[in-house]
Structure 1
């Protein structure tokens, strides 16, 4: 009499659960690092935009012989931003808004400048 032996190949439930647990652990480690890296890059891009606008504001003040208490608007800076941003005001990558400083000695600021953990402010 012949006995039938069948070879079933496949993964057991325990093996699948271990693989799912490992993938979950890797995701738990990777996702916070990705979010932090994204926030840091947005902060750096925003600070770079503020520096470009500050440089344009300094050029505007020098060219128009403005004193330190003179005021300006962001639209005054458009001619000085042509080389860097194509003549447009830069936009904060984190959806903040830029405002002009109170005077020429105060540079532009971002609406996200006081928020933690990644404030968008020039040092």
Structure 2
């Protein structure tokens, strides 16, 4: 038995196999990261690397490949950047929209409370007329309950914001303990 001959290295080819563009691969990776978590922080570099990578691939005369990677990086970079800009816009606008809703709810509560106080004041005046009460008389809730016009149940009005109503005497209007809730 004889020893086999060592393998012969083939002669180097005059046309080496094209290699993938590092910029194109980096662009695709950063583009994917921009979609997943980093938004425009990796989206913008993905777009830049993708554009430069495509230019280098085009000018390489076939020695570089990866145009698809670069295109994928550019597209995902744009999408990730736009999504992050949209998210930032929503987070910036959210407090303004919430503030508007809260102020509308507050105004609505004030109007409802004002209406309740006007109804209570009317019930006080009606009680005073029917009972010929003195001007400084102070009715109770039981005295005015039937004049509140709430049907047979005669439930007492409640402040929609959770305030407490005070009747007072006939010369003063009823009050709510929440600031801004009044007949004035």
The alignment's TM-score, normalised by the length of structure 1, stands at 0.81
Question: 1:104 matched to which residue of 2?
Answer: 170
RMSD, matched Cα: 2.3
Q: How many aligned positions are there?
A: 116
Measured in 2, the distance between the counterparts of 1:109 and 1:84 equals: 23
Q: CA deviation at 1:35?
A: 0.8
**Runs of 5+ consecutive residues of structure 2 not aligned to the other structure:** 1-64
Question: 2:118 matched to which residue of 1?
Answer: 51
Match of 1:39 among 100, 106, 116: 106
Q: CA deviation at 1:98?
A: 0.6
Distance 1:122 1:78, change over 3 A: same
Is 2:90 the partner of 1:28? no
Structure exhibiting the larger radius of gyration computed from Cα positions: 2
For residues 11-90 of structure 1, the aligned pairs below 5 Å read 12-83=79-150, 86-90=153-157
Question: Which SS does the other structure have where 1:36 is aligned?
Answer: helix
Question: In the TM superposition, what whole-angstrom CA distance separates every residue of 1:70-113 from its partner, at most 9, and x where no partner exists?
Answer: 12112211111134795111000010001111x2111211111x
Runs of 4+ in 1 over 4 A off after TM superposition: 6-11
Is 2:155 the partner of 1:94? no
Whichever structure has more helix as a proportion of its residues is 2
**Runs of 5+ consecutive residues of structure 1 not aligned to the other structure:** none
